[in-house]
Structure 1
Amino acid sequence: MKESGRKQGASSPCAACKLLRRRCAQDCVFAPYFPADEPQKFANVHKVFGASNINKMLQELPLHQRGDAVSSMVYEANARVRDPVYGCVGAISSLQQQIDALQTQLAMAQAEVVHLRQFN
């Protein structure tokens, strides 16, 4: 049974405390979201946001919103690691360009269908 991201009785620190080289307390705010077996997850978030800022953000949120906040931070951090300049905005821009190109192709195909129906 898991409790606070660690097995009961285990002294293994969460990924955050391990990276920060500190003792992982029973009420560690990071433990439920950054398990020890996913060290890169916290490493990227720490690199982009900093441990202090992550801690502040999580402390200010109600418990039921923290998981979604961590997911968002992880997504943004991973995007920022892949593309340090644009991060998520670069991914969104790329997807928008793909949508625009596909909509143009669709409009051309629909126009061709209308044109072919006129002559049949």
Structure 2
Amino acid sequence: MEAKPHQPCAACRMLRRRCDAKCLLAPYFPADQLDKFAVVHRVFGASNVIKMIQMVEETKREDAVKAIVYEAMARVRDPVYGSAGAIQQLQKMVQELKMEVETMNARVSEVQEQRDQLLMNIAHTNLLQHHHQHDVIDLVPHHHHQFPINVQDPFSDDLYDAFSLDPMDQFPLRGDWVL
């Protein structure tokens, strides 16, 4: 059986040089990734990429090459700032979203306060109505009692209708709020 000839890596193909088993770039730029190496080469140059890879211990080289490729692609998109520009843009977006969340939290608190105030006003109005109903019943002499209600049930519909107050007249709503 004949041994399969070694296929040159993307870097050696692009640089038109002989690719051997000792090629430092071959593990990171296989033959089918010519575009990826082209971007890296255009931004950093092949000799600089080799120097950067050699500076990193072998166990971390794959991550280093991924970072080099990422930065090269970022530099193509933004030649001045590269990935730092993308990071800065994302940080700006995070700050804007934080401010938006703070604004929404403040608005939620405001609406909850309005709701609580409204509920207190309604409860106060109901309490006033309840006390008013008892006062009226107590003032009516029992032998002249002609209300078609059961005095022992101060919340009967007839009594409530007779003495009901519209809380909206006493406590007009201000602002735009939602329950």
**Partner Cα separation in structure 2 for residue 9 and residue 88 of structure 1:** 41
1:57 matches 2:47: no
Matches within 5 A, 1:71-110: 71-110=66-105
- The structure with more radius of gyration: 2
**Partner Cα separation in structure 2 for residue 11 and residue 23 of structure 1:** 10
1:29 matches 2:24: yes
TM-score (norm 2): 0.60
**Partner Cα separation in structure 2 for residue 75 and residue 10 of structure 1:** 31
Question: Helix, strand or coil for the counterpart of 1:119?
Answer: helix
Q: Which of 12, 15, 23 in structure 2 is aligned with 1:17? A: 12
Identity fraction in percent: 50
| Structure 2 unpaired stretches of 5+ | 116-179
Runs of 4+ in 1 over 4 A off after TM superposition: none
**Partner Cα separation in structure 1 for residue 33 and residue 102 of structure 2:** 45
Question: Helix, strand or coil for the counterpart of 2:18?
Answer: coil
Deviation per CA, 1:37-68: give whole Å up to 9, x if none.
11111111111111111111212222111001
Structure with more relative contact order (C-alpha pairs < 8 Å, separation 6 or more): 1
Question: Helix, strand or coil for the counterpart of 1:95?
Answer: helix
Cα RMSD after superposing both structures: 1.2
The amino acid across from 2:87 in the alignment is I
**Partner Cα separation in structure 2 for residue 10 and residue 92 of structure 1:** 44
TM-score (norm 1): 0.88
Deviation at 1:88, TM superposition (A): 0.8
The amino acid across from 1:114 in the alignment is S
**Partner Cα separation in structure 1 for residue 16 and residue 98 of structure 2:** 51
CA change 1:115–1:10 in 2 (3 A) is farther
Aligned length: 113
1:69 matches 2:32: no
**Partner Cα separation in structure 2 for residue 57 and residue 14 of structure 1:** 18
Paired residues of 2:8 and 2:18 also in contact (CA < 8 A) = yes
